[in-house]
Amino acid sequence: MSTPNAIQLYRRCIRSIKLIRDHSQRATFFEYTRDGFRRHRHLHPDSREAYVACNDALEQVKSMEYYQQMQATKLKENKNKHPPMNYSRDASATSESPSIQATTASEKTSEKTQVVAPWLLSQLPHMHKDDASEYATQLYDLGFDSVSFIEEELIEEDLSFMKTAHRRVLMRQLSKIRAEKELE
């Protein structure tokens, strides 16, 4: 692959990275892409290694663009499924809106997990928000409904539902928190 194609590919990668909504993921992919292109800049443009590296980068950017298309499609579907509800101001005070009447246990659970999810994100800043809400729900179902209770009683066996890397980092953070509390 010739050098102009590599430059075009780099620009395509950067354009694709700019579309990532999550700041930490965007920064991670940008660093990864920049470092990857820098590592291979010494290769002769017509060499086999350069060709393989460009093909790998092209495959990565295609998968990233596909993922972004799926995210956009998912957002459109969610907007179509849940159109904004407009309630008139003339509704009587005694009649409740359908959304209030339809409050379910899952909504109550999500309200309870709003305390734990931000704490999880503060302990694992690179974690995706969807993972944080899922983990918070799992912790709530296990009985961990407050941050102080989690900091005191949570053990690694309770985190079997988590991804391995998240579990390791969280346990490391908890050990630091517990050590600080012991010093106080």
pLDDT confidence of residue 1:
45
Whether pLDDT at 117 is above 70: yes
pLDDT confidence of residue 94:
47
Q: What angle do CA 139, 158, 113 make, to 5 degrees?
A: 5
Alpha-carbon span 61 to 11, nearest angstrom: 11
Alpha-carbon span 25 to 31, nearest angstrom: 10
Q: At what angle do helices 129-141 and 116-123 cross, to 10 degrees?
A: 130
Alpha-carbon span 10 to 28, nearest angstrom: 15
Question: Hey, where are the domains in the chain?
Answer: 3-81, 105-183
pLDDT confidence of residue 41:
84
Whether pLDDT at 44 is above 80: yes
3-state class (DSSP) for residue 28: helix
Whether pTM exceeds 0.75 = no
| Distances 55 to 37, 58, 140 between C-alpha atoms, Å | 12, 5, 45
Whether pLDDT at 93 is above 70: no
**Token code pair at residue 106:** 């899952």
Alpha-carbon span 159 to 64, nearest angstrom: 30
**Token code pair at residue 77:** 């579907």
